Amino acid sequence: MLRGFDRLFALLAASLSVQSVLAEEQAVERWGVNMPKGVTEVAQTTYELHMLIFWICVAIGALVFGVMFYSMWRHRKSKGYKAAQFHESTAVELVWTIIPTVILILMAIPATKTLYEIYDTDKADLDIMITGYQWKWKYDYIGSDVTFFSNLSTPRSQINNEQPKSPNYLLEVDEPLVVPIKKKIRFLITANDVIHAWWVPDLAVKKDAIPGFINESWTRIEEPGIYRGQCAELCGKDHGFMPIVVKAVPQEEYNAWLDGRVASAVKMRELTGKTFTFDELFAQGEKVYNSMCAACHQPNGKGVPGVFPAIAGSKIATGPLNTHLDIVIDGSQVNPAMQAFGEQLSEVDIAAVITYQRNAFGNEMGDTVQPVDILNFKNKQ
């Protein structure tokens, strides 16, 4: 909780140096004051709509506040101004009911048009299923074998201020969503546990990911580039650490990437039969642990008391192997926060992470779990 207010004062003192940490050329972006214009037609229409409403509001504001400041300046008692006593005028009140209504109708027309455009998800060239998990995104390319998770790649040491922050701090992932440009891409959006929202400002796509329901949205990106966003619905403690990165590339590059992805999926399946050494498993397990488990059980395996149990010295990680396999593969019946990782991770990764958990943080079980063991366990069920 509170780590002492002396840190706050140290921070206040350090605040001036924050400015110099950031490169000069980022200055313009750093002071971003408006919605991005975006890289899709919908985003640009939305931007224009936003600016239109904004300027109408500014104009009305200038008028109303103008009259107000004028009377505050002119009609002061200290200047000897005598108050008039009028207090009713049906005509005037009708005028300022009717004029705003007309303005609203004028606003509603372009808004309705844009809304129809956003809702038109028909005739997509490519369908991608997006699933929100606490706290990562899963992408399924429908019609191919390609499916993967996308995790925050900013190291914990940067978040805890032990290391300088990278330029894309908190907006970088290990596996970006790769899509082709100039293609209509339909997103099917859902969630596995709680409600999340998938949002990329440059694409003007924001849609809630709701467990048990599938929402639709679409985009057609005109320019190649990397577009960043974040989860936009409070989804628990790591809500702020759930970035989205979309990499839009030309069609050929996309095809090549997809082929590579399919090939590595095949290779991964072959690896299931291989026998690994303890060290290989332990090293891979540490990687998997840090991307999949550390958000709850903490990087040091100590958990969060009362919320997320510890791995260090836990009954499960130092007890019978089958109980451990069961909870990792099928999740917990008691605590829904513990997801079923059987479908999320490959056999190799599950074997590795279980080996790691049983031998790290002072747990010294000496177990070596092979991918085959995982496969056998799954098949028995």
Partner 1 sequence: MAHGPQTGLKRWLYTTNHKDIGTLYLWFSFAMFFLGGCMALIIRAELFEPGLQIVQPEFFNQMTTMHGLIMVFGAVMPAFVGLANWMVPMMIGAPDMALPRMNNWSFWILPFGFAMLASTLFMEGGAPNFGWTFYAPLSTEYAPPSVTFFIFSIHILGASSIMGAINIIATILNMRAPGMTLMKMPLFVWTWLITAYLLIAVMPVLAGVVTMMLMDIHFGTSFFSAAGGGDPVLFQHVFWFFGHPEVYIMILPAFGIISAIIPTFTRKPLFGYSSMVYATAAIAFLSMIVWAHHMFTVGMPIAGELFFMYATMLISVPTGVKIFNWVSTMFRGSMTFETPMLFAIAFIILFAIGGFSGLMLAIAPADFQYHDTYFVVAHFHYVLVPGAIFSITAGVYYWLPKWTGNMYNETMGKVHFWLAFIGLNLTFFPMHFVGLAGMPRRIPDYALQFADFNQMASMGAFLFGAAQVVFLFNVVRTVMGGKKATDKVWDNPEGLEWTVPSPAPYHTFSTPPVIR
Report 41-100 residues binding partner 1 (CB under 8 A).
45-46, 49-50, 53-54, 57, 60-61, 64-65, 67-68, 71-72, 75-78, 81-89, 92-93, 96-97, 100
* The two three-digit tokens of residue 279, written as one number: 């060290």
Nearer to partner 1, 161 or 255 (CB): 161
Query: Cis omega before residue 257 (within 30°)?
Result: no
Any contact of residue 197 with partner 1 (CB under 8 A)?
yes
Which residue in 260, 273, 319, 336 binds partner 1 (CB under 8 A)? 336
CA distance 134 to 308: 13
Q: How far is the CB of 356 from partner 1 (least distance, A)?
A: 24
Cβ of 79: how many Cβ atoms within 10 Å? 8
Q: How far is the CB of 161 from partner 1 (least distance, A)?
A: 4
Torsion of CA 175, 164, 9, 298, to 10 degrees: 40
What residues between 242 and 301 interact with partner 1 by CB under 8 A?
A: none
Which residue in 41, 140, 175, 193 binds partner 1 (CB under 8 A)? 193
Q: How far is the CB of 245 from partner 1 (least distance, A)?
A: 12
Torsion of CA 81, 83, 89, 94, to 10 degrees: 50
Q: How far is the CB of 305 from partner 1 (least distance, A)?
A: 7
Nearer to partner 1, 243 or 371 (CB): 243
Which residue in 37, 307, 315, 364 binds partner 1 (CB under 8 A)? 307
Any contact of residue 106 with partner 1 (CB under 8 A)?
no
Neighbour-count burial for 140-178, b at 16+ CB within 10 Å, e otherwise: bbeeeebbbbbbbbbeeeeeeeeeeeeeeebbbbebbbb
Nearer to partner 1, 75 or 182 (CB): 75
Q: Cβ distance 235 to 129 under 8 Å?
A: no
Q: How far is the CB of 73 from partner 1 (least distance, A)?
A: 10
* The two three-digit tokens of residue 194, written as one number: 């709680």
Nearest to 261 by CA among 125, 374, 124, 128: 128
Binding mask 199-238 for partner 1 (x = CB under 8 A): x-x--xxxxx-xxxx-xx------------xxxxxxxxxx
Q: Which residues, including other chains, have CB under 8 Å from residue 357's CB and lie 6 or more apart?
A: 285, 289, 293, 301, 311, 317, 324, 363
Q: How far is the CB of 28 from partner 1 (least distance, A)?
A: 10
Q: How far is the CB of 142 from partner 1 (least distance, A)?
A: 19
Q: How far is the CB of 252 from partner 1 (least distance, A)?
A: 31
Binding mask 142-181 for partner 1 (x = CB under 8 A): ----------------xxxx---x-xxxxx----------
What residues between 350 and 379 interact with partner 1 by CB under 8 A?
A: none
Element (H, E) at 348: helix 347-359
Nearer to partner 1, 198 or 341 (CB): 198
- Contact segment (CB under 8 A) with partner 1 among 5-13, 326-334, 343-351, 366-374 equals 5-13
CA distance 193 to 88: 58
CA distance 128 to 130: 6
